[in-house]
Chain A
Amino acid sequence: MRMFKDVLPRAAMLFVIFTVVCGVVYTVIVTGLSQLIFPFQANGSIIMAAGSRYGSELLGQQYTDEGHMWGRIMKLDTAVYRDKEGRRLMYAVPSNLSPASDEYRTLVAERVSKLRQANPEMGEAPIPVDLVTCSGSGLDPHISPAAARYQAARLARARNISEEKVQKIIDQCTDGRFLGVFGEEHVNVLEVNLMLDGVLPLQEASL
């Protein structure tokens, strides 16, 4: 009992100290430094063009138009989030499906036939796996270069531009591996679509 009387007030005091230090001081210092040094990154990497906002380069969106590049399969969620006026907002979640079930086999088969129909130019070519799978966050803004190239012929036809131009856009929106090793090469789908729409400028390669 005497031990308890000795321990309890000190435990409480230590807890208060570190709640202030780790909860308030630490958070405020990191936020202050971040806003000072990295204002764009710290605020959500939102794309601005001609004074308007065009999505965040970090959040995937769903594209189904023939003239837009398609991204990862998305499981949309419009139930959870609302804006200040009460209108629904879009968000997305991962599928959490097992890739070893019969239901999954059927699901992927449907996706394959839909993609083949939309991309007749590619015939029976195997479809890059990114296009038939849901991502980890549900909000993956990227696809692999293989998945982007698979759609180049369709985009060229729908937009009435050359495939080379589509490829140029894809190349411009492709990020390599970090230090050439870490992660995977990936294409930002929103940036591709904003370039196809003429919102973001396509820089003519000065080769």
Chain B
Amino acid sequence: MSTVLQYILYLVLLVILAIPLGKYIQKVMEGEKTFLSPVLIPWENTVYRILGIDRSDQMSWQKYLLSVAAFSGIGFVFLFLLQLFQGYLPGNPQNMAGIKWDLAFNTAASFITNTNWQAYSGEAAMSYLTQSLGLAVQNFVSAAAGMAVLFALIRGFMGIQTDGLGSFWVDMTRIIIHILLPLNLVISLLLVGGGVIQNFRGAESVPLLEPVAVSAEGEILSNAQINLSDNTVTVGGKIIKDAEIVTEEFVPMGPAASQIAIKQSGTNGGGYTGVNSAHPMENPNAFTNLVEMLSILLIPAALCFTFGHGVKNIRQGRAIFTAMFICLLLALGSIALSEQAATPQLAQGGAVNLSMADQAGGNMEGKESRFGIASSASWAAFTTAASNGSVNSMHDSYTPLGGMAAMLLMQLGEVIFGGVGCGLYGMLSFAILTVFIAGLMVGRTPEFLGKKIEPYEMKWAVLVCLATPMAILTGSGIAAMVPEVAASLANSGAHGFSELLYTYSSCGGNNGSAFAGFSANTIFLNVSLGLVMLFARFLPIAGTLAIAGSLAGKKKVAATAGTLSTTNGMFIFLLIFIILLVGGLSFFPVLALGPLAEFFTQAI
């Protein structure tokens, strides 16, 4: 019973928090007064003074796009160099070496595109300086850039025969100072209070209750008798020469909470540690889990309401939100049921207790005891719906259908809430596609929010909608033919193919989660996945801004009795239908080769 209640409360809390935040974000976008204005406006003005800009500056869509590109490009170069040379820089108590060029390229592409795909393990590879000055900064600014592009699109709908979409500099400044910084200050402190680490000390070690023996070759000796007084290790009565006795456990340290807050709320997802929010120091209990999980969808959900306020049509915002919410429910339901049911391989004909009495039960492989199934399944749905990509359980160890639902959410183009900003502008392209198709059916010129949708907008909208499938299918198609990629798979057969498909889906959707058994740190994979991420991020941005620029230049047409409603149940249904149609047609064949094949063979 409490399991069902948990699912419901997660969703209810999300909606309750998102509605007021949506209104707040709209005020920030318009530059209106909020309760934080007295404290924050002076800082905002300082930034404008340094940049030599005015808050009322306007940019054409081309200039807006160039600004996004230039800003991201500078971030890319800085992050790339910071990783290469971290070995010579301060803020590195563990003396981490510089990162190799291909991994540095991949990571830089990953973080500027708000993907946060990680082919490295944070606590083993990145210095504190790289984490804070490089990765955490991109978590803020890549999220802000996504929201800024959405703001430009909203202004495109509202503008009447103008070419101004607002100023990228002003939007970035407002978003970071008024929204992201205050929100994450609160989230960080909640997390530390709950037990997440936040310090500048080097990693530590603590004694083990039971020491572990390792052979000279580095292999762990199970069933070894360890004698600490004379330092000997015996296995089966024989003394093992040169065996090493490990008596201490590694304890990661560092400024984790501050980075975890923004990686959750900015739909970034790049973990401070390799195993992300499954790590007990990154997410120690159900309280921190609640905070982190709600943060995933908080801004993307709020932006639906921001959009409604922004285009002066609150019902439009609600309609988009409803469509997203229904898709989220469907995915969450399939993941939850599938994980609770587990697999016959785990059930062992009844020898393993999978019931829900005094335990979470179900498929606990790759899941934490403190979270169980409900908190893990909800997180999996939230993180793949939003293009967040953080995990609190290992998706590689999900049941075939549970893993497939997570994969499908990414393949649908990350528009079921999606990344902050980018999810909604992706969804609006699907909405444009929907009014076009609906308009064809009734024989009227399609309109959306009082603007005529014409071939120019349609071409760009289709490109935006197809960017993700193109990136995923082309990328995974090529990778499947490269012989060395097979060596990266952790599982064999259909599940091995799923690992590859999930990897490209994650990068093509700018998500960043992984079937983590997959060893992605090879030159081919680093470079190809880096390119996939860049393509899937910047093509939709260009398309969205082009649409915004074209819409802003048009007249508003008055709604008549013949205008197709874009806020009623019929529109919501059609929108969901189009999303599933595009996703289904694109991905059914590959899903049949991966998760579906695995599902149908597991029962045999």
Contacts and interface: CB of A to CB of B under 8 A. Distances in A.
A139 B346 contact: no
Contacts of A65: 210
A190 B52 CA distance: 58
Name, among A79, A100, A145, A147, the residue most crowded by chain B CB atoms within 10 Å (CB to CB).
A100
A126 interface: yes
Contacts of A94: 275, 278, 366, 394, 396-397, 516
A13 interface: yes
Given A15-B141, A136-B368, A21 B181 contact: yes
B206 A54 contact: yes
**Size category of the binding interface on chain B:** 35 or more
B342 interface: yes
Contact of A23 (B132, B214, B364, B492): B132
27 contacts: A4-B66, A7-B63, A7-B67, A10-B53, A13-B51, A15-B78, A22-B139, A23-B133, A30-B261, A34-B192, A38-B193, A41-B192, A41-B195, A58-B195, A59-B206, A61-B249, A79-B218, A94-B516, A100-B399, A105-B348, A129-B364, A136-B394, A182-B6, A182-B289, A182-B290, A183-B371, A184-B374
Given A11-B74, A183-B371, A184-B359, A135 B278 contact: yes
A68 interface: yes
A117 interface: no
A155 B593 CA distance: 48
A12 B74 contact: yes
B228 interface: no
B181 A34 contact: no
B45 interface: no
Interface of B: 2, 5-6, 9, 47, 50-53, 62-63, 66-67, 70-71, 73-75, 78, 121, 124, 132-134, 136-137, 139-141, 169, 172-173, 176, 180-181, 184-185, 188-189, 192-201, 203-210, 212, 214, 218, 220, 222, 244, 246-251, 253, 255, 257-259, 261-262, 274-275, 278-281, 284-287, 289-290, 342-346, 348, 350-355, 357-372, 374-376, 391-394, 396-400, 490-493, 495, 515-517, 598-599, 601-602
Contacts of A184: 286, 359-360, 369-372, 374-375
Interface of A: 3-4, 6-8, 10-15, 17-19, 21-24, 26-27, 29-31, 33-35, 37-38, 41-46, 52-56, 58-65, 68, 72, 76, 78-81, 83, 87-91, 93-105, 108-109, 112, 124-130, 132-147, 149, 175, 177-178, 180-186, 190, 193-194, 197
Given A137-B280, A144-B358, A147-B369, 5 more contacts: A31-B258, A37-B192, A88-B244, A141-B280, A146-B358
A177 B344 CA distance: 29
Given A83-B248, A87-B246, A31 B255 contact: yes
A19 B220 contact: no
Contacts of B393: 136
A135 B367 contact: yes
B214 A182 contact: no
Nearest 10 A/B pairs, CB to CB: A183-B286, A96-B517, A144-B359, A136-B278, A184-B372, A126-B353, A178-B286, A146-B358, A100-B602, A30-B258
Contact of A78 (B205, B218, B358, B372): B218
Given A22-B141, A90-B208, A108-B348, A45 B284 contact: yes
A67 to B, nearest CB: 10
Nearest to A143: B369
Given A42-B199, A135-B367, A100 B358 contact: no
Contacts of A72: 369
A2 to B, nearest CB: 11
Contacts of B180: 22
Contacts of B189: 30, 33-34, 37
A98 B397 contact: yes
B497 to A, nearest CB: 11
Contacts of A45: 195, 281, 284
Contacts of B285: 175, 178, 183
Contacts of A81: 124, 203, 250
A151 to B, nearest CB: 13
Nearest to A182: B286
B360 to A, nearest CB: 5
Contacts of A136: 275, 278, 366-368, 371, 376, 391-394
